Structure formats: C-alpha cells, structure tokens
Amino acid sequence: MDAKVLSTEGKEQKTIQLNDKVFGREYSEGAVYHAVRNELANARVGTAKTKSRSEVIGSRRKPWRQKGTGRARSGTRQSPVWVGGGTAFGPIPRDYSYRLPRKMKQTAFRSLLSKKLATGALVIVEDFQVESGKTKDLVGLLYGLCGGERSVLIMKDEDRMVKRAANNVPWLSYQVYSRLMAHDLFYARKIIVMESAAVELGVQYGEKKVQGE
C-alpha cells in the first residue's frame, strides 16, 4: 500500500510503499490484549510481603494455661488473631512475568500498526535529527504533528540526542522499531514513524514466505 511521507511541518513530501502484511491486516483484539497484559505483568515488581506467624518476632511461650481460665485457648502471641501477630495467607514476593509466543506478539504489533494507520493516528515523517539534544527543539519539530497528545516516536536506530530530548517530554515515548511496546502503541493518540523505520517495520514484522510458494 502507498502512504504519504510528511515533513516535520506536516506537508506532504512524497509517497512510500508499505508492507500490506504489516500495515494492512485485520485487527486481532485477542493478540493485542495478550501483548499488553504480558508487558504489564513483566513490569510488575512483585515485592509485596507480609510476615507469617513463623516470622513475627516475640516469645513463643503460651500466653496462659489451656484450661481453667474461662478464656479461649491460645498457643502463641504470633497467631493471626492477635494484634501484632502474623498475617494468614499474606502476599509473598513472586515473579509475575511470563513468556508470550513470538507469533502472537508479532500479530499484535501488526494489528496495532494497521489500525493506527487506518484511523489516521499513524503518520510517517521524513528522517530528522536533533543535533542540540534540547527538548524545545524536538517539541518544535513534533508539536505540529501531534499537538501535544500522547504520542510514540518510532526510529530506525538509537539516536542519543533525540532520546535525550524525548526523555523530558511527558507525552512522548521514544522507541526503536525492533523494540516496540504494545502498551504504548495501544494508548497512543498519535504514532510518528520515521521513513527509514517504516521500511524496517515492513521487514521486521512481515510474514516470511514458505519455501515452494
């Protein structure tokens, strides 16, 4: 499919041929859901912890004798029913991360890129640089394209100066085409893809042909 390549001023410069299998496929809601859920789970710290009755410090002496006091029997002050005692079935540190099948993740990225392009939320711009590394210079280039809305900038290679400038923009997420984040793409109001990155996305997520076809 053909797509317009814009300048940083928002003017059409030329057209570019995009991979239909990446930018023109049907939307898979299930794949996108699992990709976003996987990223959130992998980012979860999982350090919540409470002390059980065996971990609470204190005397292990029986508070009072078993019978004859008229009170309920009790064996230890570390019991969960006591104030200051341990917690029954409390949280313990755990790893929430899990691996998502590669094909499902690729389907999710294809779906997101296709939907954003179809709805006009994805724009392709000519390659640019921010030699000064200043935030105001980067915002000056991108504000006309996204209007300060929640956006994602996708580049072909790591650019230290652009990354430095983008780190100070609260509404902008900086990504390289080979390390996309489904969560950011899903919630972005605008996705700005550099021309060179758009070509690489077609190669990275394009479906490989089976031998003999």
For the chain, domain boundaries: 2-44+100-204, 46-95
Phi and psi torsions of 110, nearest 5°: -60, -45
Cβ count within 10 A of residue 45: 8
The rounded radius of gyration (Å) of the Cα atoms in the chain is: 27
Which CATH architecture describes the domain 2-44+100-204?
A: 3-Layer(aba) Sandwich (3.40)
Is pTM, for the whole model, over 0.85? no
Return the HEC string of 54-121: CCCCCCCCCCCCCCCCCCCCCCCCCCCCCCCCCCCCCCCCCCCCCCCCHHHHHHHHHHHHHHHHHCCC
Phi and psi torsions of 163, nearest 5°: -65, -40
Contacts of 161 (CB under 8 A, 6+ apart): 129, 130, 131, 132, 133
Q: Give the three-state DSSP class for 122.
A: strand
Are the beta carbons of 173 and 133 closer than 8 angstroms?
no
**pLDDT surpasses 50 at 213:** no
**pLDDT surpasses 50 at 209:** no
End-to-end, the C-alpha distance of the chain in Å comes to 22
Are the beta carbons of 192 and 152 closer than 8 angstroms?
yes
Written as six digits, the tokens of 41 are: 């789970």
Are the beta carbons of 205 and 18 closer than 8 angstroms?
no
Burial classification of residue 166, based on how many CB atoms lie within 10 Å of its CB (0-12 exposed, 13-18 middle, 19 or more buried): buried
Mean pLDDT on 158-171:
91
Residue 70's pLDDT band (boundaries 50, 70, 90)? very high
109-150 pLDDT, tens digit per residue, is: 999 999 999 999 999 999 998 888 899 999 998 998 888 899
Give the per-residue pLDDT at 208.
Answer: 56
Give the per-residue pLDDT at 189.
Answer: 94
Measured distance CA(172)–CA(148) in Å, rounded: 8
Of 132, 182, 131, the closest CA to residue 154 belongs to: 182
Q: Give the three-state DSSP class for 183.
A: helix
